[in-house]
Amino acid sequence: MTENTLNDLPLLIEPDELEPLLGTPGLLILDLCDEEQYRRAHVPGAVHMEFSRLVRQDPPAMGLLPTEQALEALFSEVGLTPDTHIVAYDNTGGGRAGRLLWTLDVVGHPAYSMLNGGLPAWAEEGHPLERTVNRPRPGHYTVRMAPLPDSRADMAYVQHRLGAEDVCILDARSAAEYRGEDIRAARGGHIPGAVNLDWMQLRDPEAHGRLRPAGELMEMLERIGATPDKEIITHCQTHHRSSLTWVALRALGYQRVRGYDGSWSEWGNDAGVPVER
């Protein structure tokens, strides 16, 4: 296999597609499982990344984008270069891997994929595993972000877009959180006008947790008005669950998709912004 092979990798890569690429120069597989799981078994050649380093906590907002300096340090430690193609996975439903892919998009890194179904699909379908702790060769990766990249929304942006006909705010939390019955902030409820699609509904338990087929996903999204002609702003409590939603939308070909990293931990705790129940 050659580095040129990596240019054609899809956003969602299947285990059968990834296995022949193991060891390809320019491919970096990042494991976002807990470290204990990584040491028990992981995809051969994978490097462990601590998920907590992909979020910045500024209470009450608990899932903010880290600083440029923090991301530079993290990406440099794992050996990321501007030409590296990342394949990310986890064993917790895809939210961690999705958060990494969203972060890479925010910083302008162009080459990334998510292992569909993560470690469960890989392992349960008979692909090889290893226990070796892989130590990357550190480098220096420069992060220079735009004030508000096209794939990110902050509170001010969400407020500005409230009520716009061409926007859909997609709440990836549970229905109980959306309705204000399960309260995880100072206030319960949802952002005015937001529609709800629990992130768990995106996954197919009969297919080792892969994303459901494109036709099923499109039907779900169109039913709630989250159509491709609109800008979609997705959020949850800390933009963990909604990061998988972001990946799913991008994989379906949606062109305008933003992740609101402040999410409900910021919005629900700010008395200055409106809430619906």
Q: Which residues contact 163 (CB under 8 A, 6 or more apart)?
A: 192, 193
Between CA 9 and CA 7 the distance in angstroms is: 6
In one-letter notation, the amino acid at residue 107 is V
33 has catalytic annotation:
no
Tokens describing residue 38 = 């990584």
The active-site residue, picked from 9, 33, 236, 247, is: 236
- Catalytic residues, by residue number, are 236
